[in-house]
Amino acid sequence: MMKKRLPLLIPTITLLIACLFVTHAIEAGQADGLEVIRAAICRDVVDREPVDSGTSFEPSVGKLCCFTQIAGAQGPAEIFHVWYFAETERARVPLSVNGVSWRTYSSKIIQPHEIGDWRVDVLDAEGKVLETLLFEITP
């Protein structure tokens, strides 16, 4: 009885393995294909557009946003905005990407004493840096 089922199992197992490889290749392609089309550090985001973007802000700014437009997702994907002050990670914000061209943003409260160089790294789900935005808080 086992000899009769064995020839049927081999094609089934081969098909399952092939499906796993194709699924993995598609999922890997979703992350690999992500690209930052636009990015800005700004005071606000209104109607999914950055407002008052720049690279230098006063200590009384209160809050800044990191806006990104991402292209290339073949399905749901995730990116991260990682905020750094003086090379110290201050926030790591996961953001969903749910379309081929997707706009999203994160925000960070800036304390008046946090004067100096800042950056935001935009990472894909595997931690690859897609974009780096530099800005400063000046006295």
DSSP 66-134: EEEEEE--SS-EEEEEEEEETTEEEEEEEEEE-SSEEEEEEEEE--TT--EEEEEEEEETT--EEEEEE
Of the candidates 128, 123, 65, the one whose C-alpha atom is nearest the C-alpha of residue 97 is 123
Residue 63 carries which DSSP code?
A: E
pLDDT tens series, the chain, 139 aa: 555 655 555 555 444 444 444 344 344 444 468 999 999 999 999 999 999 999 999 999 999 999 999 999 999 999 999 999 999 999 999 999 999 999 999 999 999 999 999 999 999 999 999 999 999 999 9
pTM of the model: 0.77
Q: What is the pLDDT of residue 134?
A: 98
CATH architecture of 33-137: Sandwich (2.60)
Q: What is the pLDDT of residue 36?
A: 98
* Segments making up each domain of the chain, as ranges: 33-137
Q: Give the burial class of 93: count Cβ atoms within 10 A of its Cβ; 0-12 exposed, 13-18 middle, 19 or more buried.
A: middle
